Amino acid sequence: MFKHVSPANPLLKDVWQVSRIAYGTYGLALGLMQFVFYVFLYDKLGADALALKKSVFIFLLTSLACFFLEVPIGALGDYIGRKKTVVLSFFTAAVAYFFRSWIYFAPSPDFAFVLAIISVFFHSISYTLFSGSFVAWIVDTVKGRNVKEGYGPLLARGSSVMLLMKIVGAMIGMSLFLSGYVFYVFALSSIVSLLCAIYCAITMKETETLAFHSGTLFFKYTIDRMIKIMKIGFKATFTTPPLLYLLSVSASFTVLMLLVNCLWPIAMKANFGIEKMTFHWFFLVFTGLVGAFLGAKFLEFLQHENIRKNQDSLPPSSLWLWILGASLLMGIPILILGFLHWDGMMTIGIFTAGFVCFNIGFGFLMPSITTLKNHYIPAEHSTERATILSWQSMITEIFIVALAFPSSGPSGEKTVVGWILPASLLIISALVVNVLLRRYQRKVGELPAKKRSLAEETVT
């Protein structure tokens, strides 16, 4: 099924090589960390009620720092260049993981807490440096080289590589954690991030068709320029209709993704008595990751099949229909789980099936909606692309803060019922956006205009 997956154009060979290494490193480090860090931190802070509060504080502090840094750092990438930003991202990630590794040797819970806070600072900088700038680098580099098949296949394949390496990272991370060698999880994450920073510094080429600042950075001028870029990005985000439409869908699916992926262990324990680090827990971790990988891989397959048949990437009108289907695949199973739980009919088998379908939809949506957003960013705002993407991420964070508590349920036993709210929002927003976006696509010629009825022609 997935045989047409090689880069479609030799002009993109260097871009793909960097994308493969960068996405692979990002996914590997994420997989190493995601399933063990907070468990380890909770134990290191004392494994009591206060330790739980401190662990939650670290989680919230990370989100809060990303919220405030997202747009300014996106503007920095648009000012100094995407290559410098990406290199700095992996370097600060290496520093963040370095501080996490020293938590292992902390002589007291208080000192471990301080090290965790320092790691949050560098981790947030790293995440915001990478999130908008790397995608912007891929998109504008491909557009600048006038490659007909576009950037969609690269984003799809990069996402599948990231998810595949996340699976590898999760296997290594959990194995080391259960074997008592959790220090090596953090050390390995730091080393691979540092090596990737060096690789990108040597190999990555800046987008040839865009001019970025070079030379000395003067503080006042840099701040003034970044503020101007942020204002332009804000205006472009809120005056471009399809970007607003897609923002509502991406914010809805991100909220649902975070809530389900963070809270499913609590729901499983409260409803079925299944603890972490048991067979069912491992089974859901890997079926979820594999499901997300298959979703991203299917998008890659669609892109390359369209290139093989039509010598072009999947058109926006077709891509949106697949996004609509993936949104329903992600939202409807969770909605069904919520109502089945309400009626006391949810079983572990139904819970697992719904979770896998949800992750397949997520794996497809993550790169596909990024591809479509970039299609609708106006060409005259290419130099603000990273900032526009960062505005979208920042607004999504507002949705997360607003919906986190009402969508979590009143208790662990009722967590799945709480998911009804974000699942409903995703389904409704996708259906409403379908009407609005299809109307826009007809207006700009991406869809054929509706045929007028005989009565309308007679009146005319």
pLDDT band of residue 258 (cuts 50, 70, 90) is: confident
Q: And the tokens for 63?
A: 């989100």
Q: What is the reported pLDDT for 210?
A: 84
**pLDDT tops 70 at residue 456:** no
Cα separation, 23 vs 12, in Å, equals: 16
**pLDDT tops 80 at residue 451:** no
Domains plus CATH for the chain? Answer: 12-206 (1.20.1250.20), 226-444 (1.20.1250)
3-state helix, strand, coil in the chain (%, to 5): 80, 0, 20
> pTM for this structure?
0.85
Q: What is the reported pLDDT for 2?
A: 37
**pLDDT tops 90 at residue 94:** yes
Q: What is the mean pLDDT of residues 247-276?
A: 80
Q: What is the reported pLDDT for 40?
A: 83
Q: What is the reported pLDDT for 5?
A: 39
pLDDT in tens, 391-418: 888 888 788 777 777 776 666 667 788 8
Q: What is the mean pLDDT of residues 240-258?
A: 90
**Nearest Cα to Cα of residue 330 among 374, 365, 372, 297:** 365
Q: What is the mean pLDDT of residues 165-175?
A: 90
pLDDT in tens, 177-220: 888 888 899 999 999 999 999 999 999 999 888 888 887 878 88
On average, the pLDDT of the chain sits at: 86
Q: What is the mean pLDDT of residues 26-45?
A: 85
Task: Output DSSP code: residue 444.
Answer: T
**pLDDT tops 50 at residue 457:** no
Checking phi first, is residue 277 left (phi over 0); if not, alpha (psi -120 to 50) or beta? left
Cα separation, 231 vs 350, in Å, equals: 47
Task: Output DSSP code: residue 48.
Answer: S
Q: What is the mean pLDDT of residues 229-249?
A: 92
- Percent pLDDT > 90 in the chain is 43
**pLDDT tops 70 at residue 65:** yes
Cα separation, 274 vs 264, in Å, equals: 11
**pLDDT tops 50 at residue 222:** yes
Q: What is the mean pLDDT of residues 265-293?
A: 79
